[in-house]
Amino acid sequence: MGILGLIRRFFEGNRKEEDGNMFIIVGLGNPEKKYFKTRHNVGFTVIDHLSDKYGIGLTETRFKAAFGKGRIGDHKVVLVKPLTYMNLSGEAVAPICNYFKVDPKEKLIVISDDVELDVGRLRIRPKGSSGGHNGLKNIIALLGSDEFSRVRVGVGKKPGQWDMVDWVLGHFEGEDEKLIEESTKRACDAVVEIMENGTESAMNRFNGNK
């Protein structure tokens, strides 16, 4: 084996030690600037908070996603924003999980909006259906499993006269804007709690709280 082969083997071996031993943290949203801070993009907002707080820049763009590697406490993490638009989120999440060789049941955390929850409330689950959320539905379909942790952030129920698309693509106003800012920061704390002590502990601490 030549010197280049030995070098390649060395780095591949090191990478195998790293692979599978990190959390993939995905925030769901739509990538265009006009969707910034809409109800549907609270997952992106949580990733922004984590990125700022822990100094993890999303500088790589592969697998139909923007992502960055870093550490949160003792844990290696990959922060991810799919660039596929919401309904095709699985086209980014599944390849990233495969590339880093993580078990979604143990190491994937997905953050999304929830129109069934009051603004500011969190709902954390270790598995389950999509609950009608198209981004989660696509991830479940392409992973072939609904067993992964998710942090859902309440954005408020649609008023009767509103179309659902207009509602989720609308922006927060007034008191709701303050509530969502606080809740997205608590969602960051919930993500850390999942990594540190497990999903059940995070459920006990954060579910239903404002």
Contact 68, 76 (CB under 8 A): no
DSSP category for residue 39: G
Gap between the Cα atoms of 192 and 14, Å rounded? 26
Check 40, 49, 75, 171 and give the catalytic one.
40
**Among all chains, which residue has been given the structure tokens 């949160």?**
72
Is 40 considered catalytic here? yes
Contact 199, 128 (CB under 8 A): no
Distance in angstroms (rounded) separating the CA atoms of residues 164 and 157: 9
Tokens found for residue 184: 């997205």
Which residues on neighbouring strands pair with residue 66, listed in sequence order?
Answer: 61, 81
Q: State how far the Cα of 128 lies from the Cα of 107, in Å rounded to an integer.
A: 16
CA-to-CA distance for 68 and 60, rounded, in angstroms? 6
DSSP 37: T
- What residue spans of 72-149 are helical by DSSP H? 90-99, 104-107, 134-143
Active site residues: 40
